[in-house]
């Protein structure tokens, strides 16, 4: 994976799952994200209604804040690898999935490419992304106009979103050894 040509990225990753062990997929993903940097904040877990796509089960969503030496492209490749490791198959747009990882925001970065846009192009339309983002990065601001997302979150429809608990990632060692999924003692994962 490609390293960032400049300083480390301060990024927020959105996590979602609506198939199988939804919480388990998110907890495992957080532990696997430690491969790409240092997790510095974990949001609460939120149960949310699906947006777009076919009829499907409710999601569990969260966000993590990650300091990474990777480039945005390298981080995106890592996110796709983690999704695949948890059984993600891309069959239809906005369809049900075991794991969905989105690069929501990177401090001070505006990037528009053919398959990577940062901040996420629908971030300000989706409470299931905005609420956890603001929780882990209350200082996050839109790189275009400088407005803090915390000032915008109240403007997003928050219907169908329920906080359902704390985010407790599996210890990375438990995933590597196949041992029991012990929980982290603090909300700082790596």
List, by residue number, the catalytic residues.
88, 97, 100, 102
- Angstrom CA distances, 127 to 66, 123, 171, 186, stand at 20, 8, 29, 26
Three-state DSSP class for 173?
Answer: helix
DSSP state of 89: -
H-assigned helices in 54-139: 72-85, 127-136
Structural tokens at position 17: 């799952």
Question: What whole-number distance in Å separates Cα of residue 5 and Cα of residue 161?
Answer: 38
Question: What whole-number distance in Å separates Cα of residue 172 and Cα of residue 47?
Answer: 24
- Angstrom CA distances, 88 to 11, 83, 98, stand at 22, 5, 5
Question: What whole-number distance in Å separates Cα of residue 22 and Cα of residue 138?
Answer: 26
User: Do 104 and 133 contact (CB within 8 A), yes or no?
Assistant: yes
């Amino acid at each position: 994976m490609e390293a960032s040509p400049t300083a480390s990225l301060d990024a927020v990753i959105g996590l979602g799952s609506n198939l199988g062990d939804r919480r388990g997929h998110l907890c495992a993903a957080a532990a696997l994200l430690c491969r790409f940097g240092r997790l510095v904040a974990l949001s609460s877990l939120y149960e949310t209604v699906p947006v777009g796509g076919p009829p499907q089960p409710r999601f569990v969503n969260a966000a993590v804040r990650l300091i990474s030496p990777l480039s945005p492209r390298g981080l995106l490749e890592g996110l796709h690898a983690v999704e695949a490791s948890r059984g993600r198959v891309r069959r239809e747009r906005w369809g049900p999935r075991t794991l969905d990882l989105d690069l929501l925001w990177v401090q001070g970065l505006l990037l528009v490419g053919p398959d990577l846009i940062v901040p996420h192009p629908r971030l300000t339309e989706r409470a299931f992304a905005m609420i956890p983002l603001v929780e882990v990065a209350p200082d996050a601001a839109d790189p275009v106009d400088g407005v803090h997302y915390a000032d915008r979150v109240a403007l997003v429809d928050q219907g169908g979103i329920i906080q359902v608990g704390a985010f407790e990632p599996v210890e990375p060692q438990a995933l590597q050894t196949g041992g029991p999924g012990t929980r982290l003692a603090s909300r700082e994962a790596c």
